[in-house]
Structure formats: structure tokens, C-alpha cells
A and B are shown apart, each in its own frame.
Chain A
């Protein structure tokens, strides 16, 4: 059993609260990603689990054991750091064998040999065993670092941005490899990253962290389609969700959302009561780039916007538009041919929009059913 429970953990560095009453329950065998910008507290959280930081308050449990007061070597966890920390003077073999030779448990020489070779096999680095790190490519070094973490068969694997130093292409390959590997090993893995693609593609569940606070914990589908606030909405998804400021008014039993280039209305029903409570305030309409409709795909009454830039990505095109003086991004199939300074109709898929109150909290997500319609 290697469930991880983090109960009310607070960690302070002087005046700075790096973690503020964090509660997390990570299931046995789960691939759990902690996603957030630099300074969110991700690494501190990882270091608290591994035992390199002692929290001021709260408890950390691994399995059924309270490990809060245990030193790292007593916790049976392995960590891969961002900077890999391989021994440059040791061969790949010796780098892999190191945790076994230095560990608390006495491991016999033939057993070390067996486990090093087995790990190398899994990671496909057997031909590299005699080389030193300087003679390895970035991806190979990465695998050695992960191998060093695997070789001990700990209860829990902790990885701190292990792919961030790699080229984009290698990152892409390693993503799938890591996920395969974790599934095969069936052990709990906590993965810290600032890259939402890594989190979305690998995680069973994602915890979005900001300024030491948990913003949302959920399936990739949850954080993408039902973000609880604007922070999660703009952290998950690339390009980020577009946010357009609108005023909210109530008129004759209907709700009106108005901006210079946007006018939406909905009959006030039970589903919109939470929204109606914000009448008279400025809300944000959230719409993902893939839910922005352009040109002939936009409804006929759509506002017209100037194209600022067109970014061809091969498989799709990002069109940057001037919407009420603010840049919004639309993601479209690659067969469009828009030019900068062209003025084109821009519409939102109203069955996919979100509404956020001034504090950033989500008050409405269409989730496939459009309550609002374009006002005439």
C-alpha cells in the first residue's frame, strides 16, 4: 500500500508561506501530477513528502504510516530531481547501483547486479551501462536518472520536472514512456510540473497549485472542462482560455451579458441563479481557443474583429484577434487562409462557455448545453 495522505500541511520559510494547509489524498498506484507556475509550492510539497522539509503544521502519511517525523531514508521513497544529479565520474552502471550500495538495506553483489541490469532493460539503456554521463545524450541521462529512482523499488516515486531540461521532441517521447512505465510498475507516482501538457497527458489526477494553495484536484477532464476558477482555466489548456470582461444585467426575467463586441442573453432559470446573484457586476466570459468560431463558421450576427496574427502550427492554426482591444486566440483547422488586418466574424460556441465572478471563481459552465444565446 502506498497511498499518500497530506493532512493540513503548512510550510513556512521565514515570512513566506510556501504551503498553506494543504490536504491531499493520493491513491495507491496513482499517477498524480502537481501543476503550477514557478513559486507555487510544488517542489516544497515534493520535498515535504520525501522528508527534506519538515512542515510547521500537519501530517504526512505514506501507506498507513505517519512519516512526518521520519528522515528521508526511512520513508522508502525515491525522487528524481530536475537537474538529474548524476555522478559524472561514475559509469551508468555505478550510478544505477549507487542507491543499492548506499541504502540502509544490505543488498548482495549478485542482487545489485541483477536489479541494475533489470532496470537498464526496462529503460532500454543496457548498451550504455559502461559509459559515463558526459558521453550520454540528454534523453539517455534522463533515463539513467529515472533508472536510479526505479532500482530501489520504493513505495512511492517522486519526480520534480524531470523532463524540463530536454528538447521538445524528447519530452514528447518521454511522456508516453513514463506513463507506460508507471502503469507497468503499478506504483504511486507524484509528478511535479509547470507544463500543463505533461500533466494532462500523463496524470490520472491533477492538482493545480498556486501560491501554496490547492486550487483544484481532479481528473484531466475535470480541470480542463470544469475549472473552478480563472487560475485553473488559464493554467490548463494551451493557448490559455480567453477571458472577456462583460457587464451582467437582469431585465424582464432574463440575464444580459454585455461587452462592446459581445451581447448575450438567457432566460433566468434555476441553473442561472448563481450567476444572477452577480447582477450589476463585471464578470468574465471564458472561452477556449478551440471553441471560438471564425468566418463562415461564426453565427451571422457575430461581431467582426481584426486579425492581428496568424500562427500556423501544422496540424492547426492559431488566429490572434483584436476583441474589444484585447487579444483573443482562436484555434482552427489548418485549411483556413486569414491574413493580418483582415476583419472577420468571430463567434463563441455558447455550449462551451464559462462565466467567472470578479474574484475569479467559476459561477457557470455551459458543459455542452447553451443557456445563453446571442442577443439580437
Chain B
């Protein structure tokens, strides 16, 4: 168990800042996801935590102690990588036991701890098998078990599920979350998959182009994205964005979109304007409802261009004037392609971003 502080850390490769001025505090025993697209700096951050890279500037502290130059082996961390590094000539048992054997623990203790870890992971029956006889799914469990067994203070996972099939991934998400809660271990999970981050992590650090964009709970990053990048990155169907102008009426803001037939929307700002004059409004596809195109409640009207039937929900794509919008509807709602529809939005769910800074005002 350990508390982590990343203070003003920058990592430069040549002229390129892979990570810029990163400040992050990770409480002891929390499950944190580092989320972002490829090239955002999440893996560089992970590598600085693990000791494979040294920060160019700034400090990394574990439990108040600076670890910048400490070797990976001296940091008391456990790793699980995307390409689980398993010893193929050993049994599952020997792979899991490896860390304890190296530490020369007594045989009975090793036996007991391996069984315990295997039980937590549901692989007790596979312990005697050689790893070549195991499925990809079980191999990943062995890899997790091998890292867990030394009870590292910090557990680092770098996209560990990306080679697994989707069904098993969804099962492992719940398993890992349960495991982390039982072990009360500080866990840092790197992923580009917002579903994984949202579903497992207590807090999510979202990065883009080397910079931290937001650090918050899944609820915060989903419902109160700090900027347009976060708003677009989090959510299983991307947020709709439209240009808008702002007018003040008392404490409220009136949004007017340059879309033919659009009704203005009134919202309450949560932060002051930053002197910008160009803005974008955002609304999630699940916060729009399809209504009759003639309905007085319709905020916009559009024409259906595409329907993605995903099973539990349908995504309706439509065009309104020059813009493409997406709406999430129940599986029973199936408008025809080419059909005219009205859109009603929940104005409490509307976001507004400054175009210059990307910062959220609403």
C-alpha cells in the first residue's frame, strides 16, 4: 500500500514533451485509471512510476519519499502488461510462485500463498498445468497472480485486457474491481478504453497530448467534463457538438445555434466566461429524445441517415442543416432512414465550451 504524488513532472524526449507539468495525487488504496488516446503520455507516466523512465523535471513521491532515480526493483511495485510476460517452460503454479521463490520464502508459505491467490482469481484447478496448455484468458490471470503475490505497494496495469476477448474482458473488469477492493491496494490502470476506466476506477486521470485534462470520479468526468476534450472522449457514444452564441439574461445564458429551425436553449453557467467570443454547445446522445417533428417541444429537426442497432439500444444518426447528430434510443425505437424527426433535449444536461481554451463554462 502506498500513496503517490506526482509533482510538476515533465518528461522530454529530444524536443518533444511527452508529459508536461503533471500534478497528480493518488490516495493510498485507490483504483486510478490513466485514460487517453495513443500518444497522450499515459504510458510515459506509467513508465516513470515504474522506474523505467526518469522524469526530466519534477518529482515522484511514494509515501512522501522521492523515488525519481530509484530502480524498478527497489520501488515495491507489481506490473501487469498487455503482453503478459509468462515463463512458458513453467507451470502456472511456478509462475505465480516466482516472486516468492526469488525472495527465498519457506516452501509451505509459498504453497499457501499461491493457493490463496489462485483461489481469488479462480484458477486453482490450473495450477499444475504448463502455461502452454492455458487459454489466453487464463494466462492473463496467471500474470495478475504473479504480480499480486509479492503484495507490492503499488500495482501498475498497462492495458492488461486488450488481448482478451470482449466477453472475458467484461468479466475481468468486475473481477479486478472486486480484487482491488479486497486487497485495498493502490492500483493504477492505463487504458485508452473509456469503458474500462469508467467501470473500474474510483478516479480517472484523463490525459491528452502530454497534459492532464481532468482528474475526477467517473461521475464527474461524465457529467461535469472540465473541457471539450474530456467531453468528447468519455461516453460510449460521442457527445454531440454544435457551434453556439451566448447571451446573458440575468444569471442564465441563452444559447443560439446557427442551425436552421433551432430553438434557443437556456442554461445556468457553472464558471465565468473567459473573454472568448466563440463557443460550442455539447449534449450527449443519451440526453436527447426523439419527438414528432411538428412538436412544439422540438429543439431541432433533422433527417435520419443511419441507425446502429446495438441490442440494448439503438444509435440514430441524423443530419440537421449542415450538422450530424447522434441520439441514443430504446431498441424498440426504429425510425426509417430519410424520416424527419424532432429532437427534444434536457437543458440541464447541456454543456458549453469556450472554443479558444476548450474549457467548460456550463
Contact = CB atoms under 8 A, between A and B. Distances in A.
Given A312-B218, A314-B218, A315-B328, A201 B198 contact: no
B283 to A, nearest CB: 13
Given A167-B37, A168-B194, A315-B235, A38 B165 contact: yes
Interface in A8-29: none
Given A169-B238, A172-B237, A318-B199, A288 B311 contact: yes
Interface stretch (A123-131, A173-181, A262-270): A173-181
A141 to B, nearest CB: 12
B278 interface: no
A84 to B, nearest CB: 15
Contacts of B298: none
B222 A288 contact: no
B246 to A, nearest CB: 26
A236 interface: yes
A195 B166 contact: yes
Given A201-B315, A221-B309, A234 B167 contact: yes
Interface in B289-326: 305-306, 308-312, 315, 317
B88 interface: no
Given A176-B317, A288-B311, A311 B200 contact: yes
Contacts of B170: 238-240, 318, 329
Contacts of B223: 314
Nearest to B233: A169
Contacts of B218: 312, 314
A309 B174 contact: yes
Contacts of A309: 174, 177-178, 181
B154 to A, nearest CB: 21
A220 B181 contact: no
Interface size range on B against A? 35 or more
B195 A313 contact: yes
Contacts of B317: 176
Contacts of A331: 312
A110 B98 CA distance: 65
Q: Which 4 A-B pairs have the closest CB atoms?
A: A311-B199, A201-B308, A314-B222, A320-B174
Interface of A: 37-38, 138, 167-170, 172-173, 175-176, 179-180, 194-197, 200-202, 220-221, 224, 234-240, 288-290, 308-309, 311-315, 318, 320, 327, 329, 331, 340
Interface of B: 37-38, 136, 165-167, 170-171, 173-175, 177-178, 181, 192-195, 198-200, 218-219, 222-223, 232-238, 284, 286, 305-306, 308-312, 315, 317, 328
Given A175-B308, A314-B218, 20 more contacts: A37-B165, A167-B192, A168-B195, A179-B306, A179-B308, A180-B306, A194-B166, A196-B166, A200-B311, A234-B167, A235-B167, A240-B166, A309-B174, A309-B178, A312-B198, A312-B219, A314-B284, A315-B286, A318-B199, A320-B178
